[in-house]
Structure 1
Amino acid sequence: MEGMTPMDNEAPTVTRMNELPDRTKDFLSKLDEDDIDNLEDAIKFYATVRTMGHVVKWLAITVLAIIVGIASLYENTLKIWGWFHK
């Protein structure tokens, strides 16, 4: 991407399209309404999957922490019980 200037987002749409690489312009020129709808749906789906990935990650960490906490609590409860019932 050497020699390319960053796209001016404030420029009118026609001018912005001229600043795009040729490959991108060719790709966009071949899209019809259904393709655009599909791309918008794909972008929304990708955002949802990323969000769910974060939720599942933290859910797994929470479940693991609860399991370790219960095991530790059980072990220490037995230890304290042993101190009082010798």
Structure 2
Amino acid sequence: MTREFLSKLDEEGIETLDQGIRLVRATMTVGRFARLMIVGILGPFVGASMFLDSLRKIIAWLNKP
């Protein structure tokens, strides 16, 4: 079925299909980059917040009367 479809394509159809494939690749690359940027930006904030909360708990535990 796929071979039959591809064999019926003319030059314009092949070019359109090639552009579509390039568009999908570019979209996937941008998606990966955006995901890494979000993790890279939010990760340190979440990590620092968790660290400071744990530090606060340890200090409170050590200062118990």
TM range (shorter): 0.5 to 0.7
Unmatched 5+ residue regions in structure 2?
1-8
> Identity of paired residues, percent?
7
Q: Considering only aligned residues, what root-mean-square deviation do their CA atoms show, in Å?
A: 1.9
Residue number in structure 2 paired with 1:58? 34
Residue number in structure 2 paired with 1:74? 50
TM normalised by structure 2 equals 0.61
In our comparison, the structure showing a higher alpha carbon Rg is 1
Residue number in structure 2 paired with 1:38? 14
TM normalised by structure 1 equals 0.50
Unmatched 5+ residue regions in structure 1?
1-32
How many correspondences in the alignment?
54
Higher helix share: 2
